[in-house]
Amino acid sequence: MGEQEKYKNLLKKVIQETENQNINSSQEMVNMLVKELRSITLTSSVAPKS
Protein backbone atom coordinates (compact mmCIF):
# COMPACT_ATOMS: atom_id res chain seq x y z
CA MET A 1 0.00 0.00 0.00
CA GLY A 2 1.39 3.40 -0.98
CA GLU A 3 1.91 6.28 1.41
CA GLN A 4 -0.90 8.31 -0.11
CA GLU A 5 -3.34 5.41 0.29
CA LYS A 6 -2.39 5.05 3.97
CA TYR A 7 -3.07 8.73 4.62
CA LYS A 8 -6.32 8.60 2.66
CA ASN A 9 -7.51 5.67 4.81
CA LEU A 10 -6.44 7.52 7.96
CA LEU A 11 -8.51 10.56 7.01
CA LYS A 12 -11.51 8.35 6.21
CA LYS A 13 -11.19 6.78 9.66
CA VAL A 14 -11.06 10.21 11.33
CA ILE A 15 -14.19 11.31 9.44
CA GLN A 16 -16.04 8.13 10.46
CA GLU A 17 -15.02 8.52 14.10
CA THR A 18 -16.19 12.14 14.07
CA GLU A 19 -19.52 11.25 12.44
CA ASN A 20 -20.04 8.47 15.01
CA GLN A 21 -19.31 11.02 17.74
CA ASN A 22 -16.32 9.04 19.00
CA ILE A 23 -14.27 12.20 18.53
CA ASN A 24 -15.82 15.15 20.32
CA SER A 25 -13.07 17.75 20.31
CA SER A 26 -10.17 18.92 18.23
CA GLN A 27 -7.80 17.67 20.94
CA GLU A 28 -9.21 14.14 20.63
CA MET A 29 -8.83 14.35 16.85
CA VAL A 30 -5.21 15.50 17.11
CA ASN A 31 -4.43 12.73 19.61
CA MET A 32 -5.96 10.12 17.30
CA LEU A 33 -4.05 11.47 14.29
CA VAL A 34 -0.75 11.41 16.18
CA LYS A 35 -1.38 7.86 17.38
CA GLU A 36 -2.32 6.65 13.90
CA LEU A 37 0.59 8.45 12.22
CA ARG A 38 3.01 6.90 14.68
CA SER A 39 1.53 3.50 13.87
CA ILE A 40 1.88 4.12 10.12
CA THR A 41 5.45 5.34 10.57
CA LEU A 42 6.41 2.34 12.71
CA THR A 43 4.77 -0.07 10.27
CA SER A 44 6.55 1.56 7.33
CA SER A 45 9.94 1.44 9.01
CA VAL A 46 9.53 -2.23 10.03
CA ALA A 47 7.93 -3.51 6.83
CA PRO A 48 10.27 -5.14 4.32
CA LYS A 49 10.93 -3.13 1.19
CA SER A 50 9.76 -4.74 -2.05
Go through the chain and tell me how many residues it has: 50
pLDDT for residue 40: 82
Query: Using CA atoms, how far apart are residues 18 and 1, in angstroms rounded to an integer?
Result: 25
* Residue 22 DSSP symbol: S
Dihedral sign, Cα of residue 16, residue 22, residue 24, residue 27: negative
Q: What is the tens place of the pLDDT at every residue in 8-50?
A: 998 998 899 889 998 899 999 999 999 988 988 777 776 565 5
Contact indicator for 40, 10 with CB cutoff of 8 Å: yes
Q: What is the tens place of the pLDDT at every residue in 1-10?
A: 688 998 899 8
